Structure 1
């Protein structure tokens, strides 16, 4: 894959993050005529062949927004030999697998696979990132982008986590899956009025009809079936850390030796947001670390 890395003076950021004692850098790669930016904190010198985690923003979001949301994950990653990267979607959206998406990234058919290939190459060359330990966690539209990476690039992504996102319905699927199983964790709220837990239309407003998605049960079953699981997953109740938020979390796990782990965190009463009972990004990092231990 041919690509050129270019630092854009107008967007190069050197922002001090005092809590992490690190600088935030913004760089970009040139992919098929488009400069695609991404953000990351300067890694500690102690990192050796670090794992690489991409944190993907939701529709109309940005990588810098996600740096704030994933601050605890970033801090823990620095003790887990892991480098966190926060890419920007094209014009604040991703070209993910929803055929109905009116976003420019979808309409112009941006080559997202080439973008992620270029970033993997960039961090391998610059920091020696381990290309066999690459992961992605995304929220909402970023969750859809994470699904696309798992569906179309399973040889590059060791595992993914999708937060408040279900797979597109079959009539709304705009990707050609490889059919290869990968470890997947899903975190969805039962009262989500944007990404319907039981499936249906995703509508972000009068001009942002994203088409229909599958139910969370069908989404979980898709990944479990690929991994050849049979029967019911193991169920457990997670601690209700914040009893005043009206939410509880159930974890459903498919895990067998020699098979990719598939997990659902069902946030009962959860909406299109993050639960208070756990940090979803820290939970994603723990899930990723399990896949390499």
Structure 2
């Protein structure tokens, strides 16, 4: 290993350590009788109308649990005038758009739109975030929540990224889509048995049936159709930086002037997990930043 590589690795580790040991601020807002909580690292002092990125956990998780997974993105965001926030689902789940979900968030029809509107207002007031630069990235159930934000609140979210998540099938969809295109990036594994790449039932631990999802191709087609794309996307291979993980990644990009960018990262051999060849949260941040250019 050369000196430059060692130094780069040291600086990256030091940066991640700074995030992991930064003071975590936890707060909540009252939404229709429920205190909804969220977490974030102490922001830098030099923020100037920053962008705002929400990072959503998967079903059964929590916001603090996502902070380590997104540590590299959080560190990078601190140098790019961006504030990263980790909200908690209601009783560890989201009320996303899956009609058949047995989670209490869905059963009680928790108002997630009001929660995210309230958080945006909170960070506008305290840190003067730019309301035109709000983004969301989520994993698994958090990816479903990201889809819901794009489906129902497209005027509030500049772009979203959904990781290991497909749109609910039409028979399992209980949201009313606004029908407005937004930039979307999808990162899905072809061997995912929880969120089937080719569509089908989503079964969580304890035989928790969340209903059926569309295939990744149909999910991609929904967003490209809204954006008005025709023809084939630009295809490229992502460098295989970890040839031992059994995964390779293909990137499919739809991008034309005047239309929202739509991207699929197809993780060949990927399961219900993150690939090693890239950091999915850093990739999401880069995608979000491209939408501001």
| TM-score, structure 2 as length reference | 0.93
Q: Which residue of 1 aligns with 2:287?
A: 287
Q: Which residue of 2 aligns with 1:19?
A: 18
Q: CA RMSD in A?
A: 0.9
CA distance, structure 1, for counterparts of residue 232 and residue 104 of structure 2: 40
Q: Which residue of 2 aligns with 1:151?
A: 151
CA distance, structure 1, for counterparts of residue 274 and residue 246 of structure 2: 13
CA distance, structure 1, for counterparts of residue 43 and residue 49 of structure 2: 12
Q: Which residue of 2 aligns with 1:54?
A: 54
SS of 2:224's equivalent in the other structure is helix
Q: Which residue of 2 aligns with 1:69?
A: 69
SS of 1:260's equivalent in the other structure is coil
Q: Which residue of 2 aligns with 1:219?
A: 219
Q: How does 1:162-201 map to 2 (within 5 A)?
A: 162-201=162-201
Q: Which residue of 2 aligns with 1:109?
A: 109
User: Once the two structures are superposed, what CA deviation does each residue of 1:86-119 show, in whole Å capped at 9, x if it has no partner?
Assistant: 0000000000000000000000000000000000
What is the deviation of 1:18?
5.0
Q: Which residue of 2 aligns with 1:203?
A: 203
| TM-score, structure 1 as length reference | 0.93
What is the deviation of 1:22?
2.6
What is the deviation of 1:207?
4.5
What is the deviation of 1:23?
1.0
Q: Which residue of 2 aligns with 1:40?
A: 40
CA distance, structure 2, for counterparts of residue 221 and residue 233 of structure 1: 11
Q: Which residue of 2 aligns with 1:4?
A: none
User: Once the two structures are superposed, what CA deviation does each residue of 1:136-184 show, in whole Å capped at 9, x if it has no partner?
Assistant: 0000000000000000000000000000000000000010000000000
CA distance, structure 2, for counterparts of residue 177 and residue 47 of structure 1: 34
Q: How does 1:89-100 map to 2 (within 5 A)?
A: 89-100=89-100
User: Once the two structures are superposed, what CA deviation does each residue of 1:231-279 show, in whole Å capped at 9, x if it has no partner?
Assistant: 1111000100000001000000000000000000000000000000000
Q: Which residue of 2 aligns with 1:230?
A: 230
CA distance, structure 2, for counterparts of residue 244 and residue 18 of structure 1: 27
What is the deviation of 1:42?
1.0
- Which moved further from structure 2: 205-214 or 94-103? 205-214
Q: Which residue of 2 aligns with 1:272?
A: 272
